[in-house]
């Protein structure tokens, strides 16, 4: 079925399971996907991925899969029903993605058909795969398509929601592609199928799912940055004119702060986390603040430097949006929000105004999802459920996000 093919099946309410695989935890949510577009989450769980002193790729993957096993088992033993579909939203560590623009211009009118669109798109997918093949061959794993989404189609310079079978001279399609290593994807599927044998499993990316939901909630703002600070990485996506233009990551997340405090104070993991939270709230005693202050300041400078580099690489001679939607653990949201606001170079050279940071806490999604009794409201599981319900199920027949 091509990207522009129509899906004539009517979707009834169905039980769906989503696994959210981040760089610091694995989350799981069981929800009813409904034709109203408002999912009802009836069960949720979050299992941390243990922090280790040094990051090693194979060891990190092993720990991630163990956390996934815990979450899958907990969902299964909850006994709340067998999901019809299962989605896995992947951390940026587990996929590569890009927004690509396809252009076709002719002197004489031509008919825009589903076959023409699919031929052009498949050529673009092949190019993208070739560009990223070497990275995955070095890891010993073939690369596999995860997502192929049509973001926008323009005919003769105008956006067209129903472009098929129209005569045009100029065609422009904006598509989003993501791919991941086959070995990792098969390992994830194997763990899930240990508990859920029959349900179809589909993969999605953090970049696309979070962008689509934020774009819809803040529809008045066409240009924005979306920043997710996870355990091991910080992900930045840039939207311009409601299009996900580019995404970039750098390997500094919450865990790099914790590791630095452990090393500097020779303390345990739990103590390091407590010290950081006390310090950021201004509750650390004088002696602790005196020791911890320089460590935190150094970490802040290092994170900001990577943040500046990432914005410069994203911009490509275009202005960076001043509005930032930030997702990070609530306990450190203010700390990172204020840190971003103190960044000066890019605010005055690449943007038109100072950064405005909006924290994406669970309250942002009020009215967009419903919850069963005693369900923990976790930001990304809510976003995943909204995205799957509204964009993957209800909008599947349009072939668009």
pLDDT in tens, 356-393: 999 999 999 999 999 999 898 999 999 999 999 987 66
Question: What CATH code is carried by the domain that includes residue 344?
Answer: 3.30.420.40
Model confidence at 39: pLDDT above 80: yes
The verdict on 147 and 275 lying in the same domain is no
- 97 and 176 Cβ atoms separated by less than 8 Å: yes
Model confidence at 273: pLDDT above 90: no
Asked if residue 9 belongs to a domain, the reply is no
267/273 Cα distance (integer angstroms): 10
Asked if residue 210 belongs to a domain, the reply is yes
Give percent of the chain above pLDDT 90.
57
pLDDT digits (tens, 9 = 90+) for 221-267: 999 999 999 999 999 999 998 889 889 999 999 998 899 888 888 88
Give pLDDT, residue 211: 94
pTM for the structure as a whole? 0.87
In total, how many domains does the chain have?
Answer: 3
* 3 state DSSP class of 39: coil
The verdict on 236 and 319 lying in the same domain is yes
Give pLDDT, residue 232: 93
The verdict on 116 and 256 lying in the same domain is no
The verdict on 70 and 149 lying in the same domain is no
Asked if residue 8 belongs to a domain, the reply is no
The verdict on 162 and 28 lying in the same domain is no
Asked if residue 3 belongs to a domain, the reply is no
Asked if residue 7 belongs to a domain, the reply is no
pLDDT digits (tens, 9 = 90+) for 76-106: 999 999 999 999 999 999 999 999 999 999 9
The neighbour count for residue 28, using CB atoms within 10 Å, is: 30
Give pLDDT, residue 228: 95
For 62-116, give the DSSP string.
Answer: HHHHHHHHHHHHHHHHTT----SEEEEEEPGGG-EEEEEEEEEEEEEEEEE-HHH
The verdict on 316 and 371 lying in the same domain is no
| Strand pairing category for 323-327 and 224-229 | parallel
Average pLDDT over the chain reads 87
More confident residue, 43 or 2: 43
The verdict on 118 and 133 lying in the same domain is yes
pLDDT digits (tens, 9 = 90+) for 161-198: 888 899 999 999 999 999 999 999 999 999 999 999 88
- Region 111-135: what's the mean pLDDT? 89
220/183 Cα distance (integer angstroms): 41
- 386 and 401 Cβ atoms separated by less than 8 Å: no
Give pLDDT, residue 266: 87
Model confidence at 1: pLDDT above 50: no
The verdict on 342 and 271 lying in the same domain is yes
The verdict on 112 and 191 lying in the same domain is no
The verdict on 24 and 44 lying in the same domain is yes
Model confidence at 284: pLDDT above 90: no
135/142 Cα distance (integer angstroms): 10
Name the CA dihedral angle for 297, 299, 305, 309, rounded to a multiple of 10 degrees. -160
Asked if residue 277 belongs to a domain, the reply is yes
- 312 and 248 Cβ atoms separated by less than 8 Å: no
Q: Which residue range is the domain that position 84 belongs to?
A: 14-95+180-218+362-398
Model confidence at 36: pLDDT above 90: no
The verdict on 333 and 390 lying in the same domain is no
The verdict on 25 and 69 lying in the same domain is yes
306/331 Cα distance (integer angstroms): 22
């Amino acid at each position: 079925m091509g990207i522009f093919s129509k899906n004539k099946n009517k979707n009834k309410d169905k039980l769906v399971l989503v696994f959210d695989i981040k760089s610091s935890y694995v989350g799981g949510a069981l929800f009813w996907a409904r034709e109203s577009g408002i999912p009802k989450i009836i069960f949720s769980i979050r299992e941390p991925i243990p922090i280790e002193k040094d990051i090693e790729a194979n060891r990190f993957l092993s720990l991630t899969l163990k956390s996934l096993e815990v979450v899958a088992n907990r969902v299964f033993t909850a006994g709340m029903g067998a999901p019809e579909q299962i989605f896995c939203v992947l951390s940026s560590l587990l996929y590569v993605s890009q927004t690509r623009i396809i252009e076709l211009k002719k002197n004489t009118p031509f008919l825009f058909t589903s076959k023409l669109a699919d031929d052009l798109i498949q050529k673009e997918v092949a190019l993208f795969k070739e560009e990223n093949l070497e990275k995955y061959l070095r890891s010993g794993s073939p690369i596999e398509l995860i997502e192929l989404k049509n973001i926008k189609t323009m005919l003769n310079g105008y956006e067209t929601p129903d472009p098929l079978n129209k005569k045009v001279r100029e065609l422009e399609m904006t598509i989003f592609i993501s791919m991941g290593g086959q070995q990792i994807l098969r390992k994830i599927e194997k763990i899930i199928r240990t508990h859920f044998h029959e349900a179809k499993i589909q993969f999605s990316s953090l970049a696309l799912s979070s962008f689509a939901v934020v774009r819809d909630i803040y529809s008045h703002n066409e240009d924005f940055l979306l920043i997710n600070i996870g355990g091991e990485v910080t992900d930045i996506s840039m939207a311009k004119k409601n299009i996900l233009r580019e995404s970039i990551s750098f390997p500094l997340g919450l865990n790099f702060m914790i590791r630095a405090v452990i090393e500097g104070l020779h303390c345990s993991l739990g103590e390091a986390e407590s010290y950081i939270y006390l310090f950021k709230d201004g509750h650390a005693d004088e002696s602790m603040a005196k020791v911890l202050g320089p460590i935190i300041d150094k970490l802040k400078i290092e994170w900001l430097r990577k943040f500046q580099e990432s914005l410069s690489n994203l911009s490509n001679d275009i202005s960076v949006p001043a509005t930032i939607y930030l997702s990070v653990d609530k306990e450190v949201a203010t700390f990172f929000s204020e840190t971003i606001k103190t960044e000066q170079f890019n605010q005055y050279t690449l943007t038109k105004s100072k950064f405005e940071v909006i924290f994406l806490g669970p309250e942002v999604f009020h009215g967009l999802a419903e919850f069963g009794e005693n369900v923990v409201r976790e930001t990304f599981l809510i976003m995943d459920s909204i995205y799957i319900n509204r964009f993957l199920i209800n909008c599947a027949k349009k072939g668009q996000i």
